[in-house]
Structure 1
Amino acid sequence: MNKIKNKKAVCIMSGGMDSTLSAYMMKEQGFDIVAVHFNYDQRTQAKELECFNNICEALHVSEKYNLDIGFFKELGASALTDKNIEVPTSGVEAGIPVTYVPFRNGIFLSMAAAIAEKEGAEAISIGVVEEDSSGYPDCREEYIKSMQQSINLGTKDETNITIHMPLVHLKKSEIVKEALKLNVPLELTWSCYKNEEKACGVCDSCRLRLNGFKEAGIKDPIIYE
């Protein structure tokens, strides 16, 4: 008897709370997880990679890719990749934040699409959050949908990939609650833009995370300064 081939999802996973929950949601839907992580010389690269590997072990992924991208360091233009630009900690920043990495999600999705086509995966998941995020343009639902169309136009005729963005309209507090429902190991995730030992608690990402836990009435399990 021929074995039925399980459906696969390529999950872009940073080691953060949002992308981790997205991967767990795909697993809950019956997908075999192909985990993809990008090292792009971000400030907390070592910590994010450690978290990714630990989460993959907890999630029992079927395969994982750990990819290095030197391009973003050469490009600069973001506080995450250029150490000459300070990570804001005031909580007040008009317009697109300096922590925005130009077209990062577009590049990540393009590489994930190549992996999905190679792996025969029918889905890509990405943990973008539009309504309760830092205001990054590449986290918008409309943009992700346009990328799905472009990916399917630029791949083989038999390739049909759906990009899942299950958190796009959730608030951080809802993300925390959903993660708890699925027993996501939130203690293994990392959100801080600045530090790798103890989270700073004052960068935009830490503020969003802490506020989400506060609104959910749950204590954040990671250590802060």
Structure 2
Amino acid sequence: MARAVVVTSGGLDSTTALYWAIEKGYEAFPITFDYGQIARAEIRCAEAVSKRLNLPWKLVDLGGLAGIYAGATSLVDRSLEITREFSKAIIVPFRNAILLSAAVAYASSIGAAHVLYGAHASDAENYPDCREEFVKAMEKAARLGTGSGIYIEAPLISMRKSEVIRLGTRLGVPYELTWSCYRDGDAHCGVCESCENRKRAFAEAGVSDPTEYLG
């Protein structure tokens, strides 16, 4: 059975990618990163899903990145506004490249030939590191840097978020155990850009949304 490291944030996209990997027959190794994000619930959700699946979840402390991101993103810096619509302040600069690099290192250490993450088409417009050309470039860099034939894959990259939800529903993804909100807490705020995207995607998918929202 081929091994795959799956970058799992605790969100619905990466959790769907994890379930996809299992359906495809991979021996999955979920990895989650603490980079100082305000939404600590992400990490709790990633752990909960991995435990449900009885998988060897790994949490990596990259908290030092919070110092780099100070003043740049409201997902880390509490002094910046969390917006209801997309804005530059919700971008975490070069995040996927950093996390994928660490995931490649982990994959190399456990003999995994595949690294997966949950990039999808709905994010491609605003996030360059969710585009197919980025995935290909990262894979090339990983192969050059490791001297191996490692694959970096984004199995959801051609899907809209609503399509991801339909796929996940078929796969049995427990979306009540996923977190999208940029804020922390026991329930989603319901008003940040990510919560709005989550609500919209469930509605477009025609799937009942199990999420508890405050607003």
Measured after TM superposition, the shift of residue 173 of structure 1 is 1.2
Partner residue, 1:153:
144
Aligned with 1:172 (options 141, 155, 161): 161
Measured after TM superposition, the shift of residue 64 of structure 1 is 2.2
How far apart, CA to CA, are the structure 1 residues paired with 2:137 and 2:63? Answer: 26
1:129-165 per-residue CA deviation (whole Å, 9 max, x = no partner) reads 2335671121111111100000000103xx2211110
Contact 2:73 2:91 in 1 (8 A): yes
Q: TM-score with structure 1 length normalisation?
A: 0.90
Aligned with 2:46 (options 52, 57, 77): 52
Measured after TM superposition, the shift of residue 92 of structure 1 is 5.6
Q: Which amino acid in 2 is paired with 1:199?
A: H
Aligned with 1:39 (options 22, 34, 38): 34
The alignment covers a number of residue pairs equal to 212
Give the % identical residues: 38
How far apart, CA to CA, are the structure 1 residues paired with 2:189 and 2:122? Answer: 23
1:166-210 per-residue CA deviation (whole Å, 9 max, x = no partner) reads 111211111111011000111100100023221111211111111
Contact 1:134 1:204 in 2 (8 A): no
How far apart, CA to CA, are the structure 2 residues paired with 1:129 and 1:194? Answer: 22
How far apart, CA to CA, are the structure 2 residues paired with 1:133 and 1:201? Answer: 23
How far apart, CA to CA, are the structure 2 residues paired with 1:203 and 1:141? Answer: 27
Aligned with 2:83 (options 84, 88, 106): 88
How far apart, CA to CA, are the structure 1 residues paired with 2:174 and 2:117? Answer: 18
- Cα RMSD of the aligned pairs, angstroms, is 1.4
Partner residue, 1:188:
177
2:103 equivalent to 1:109: no
Q: Secondary structure at the match of 2:122?
A: coil
Partner residue, 1:26:
21
Measured after TM superposition, the shift of residue 70 of structure 1 is 2.2
Q: TM-score with structure 2 length normalisation?
A: 0.94
Q: Which has the larger radius of gyration?
A: 1
Measured after TM superposition, the shift of residue 41 of structure 1 is 1.1
How far apart, CA to CA, are the structure 1 residues paired with 2:202 and 2:113? Answer: 33
Measured after TM superposition, the shift of residue 19 of structure 1 is 0.2
Which structure 1 segments of 5+ residues have no match?
Answer: 1-5
Structure with greater helix percent: 2
Partner residue, 1:69:
62
Which structure 2 segments of 5+ residues have no match?
Answer: none
Q: Secondary structure at the match of 1:86?
A: coil
Contact 1:106 1:138 in 2 (8 A): yes
2:136 equivalent to 1:141: no
Aligned with 2:5 (options 7, 10, 28): 10
Q: Which amino acid in 2 is paired with 1:176?
A: I
1:89-141 per-residue CA deviation (whole Å, 9 max, x = no partner) reads 2x264xxx311111110000100000001110010010012335671121111
1:6-60 per-residue CA deviation (whole Å, 9 max, x = no partner) reads 2100000000000000011111111111110001111112x11210111001222
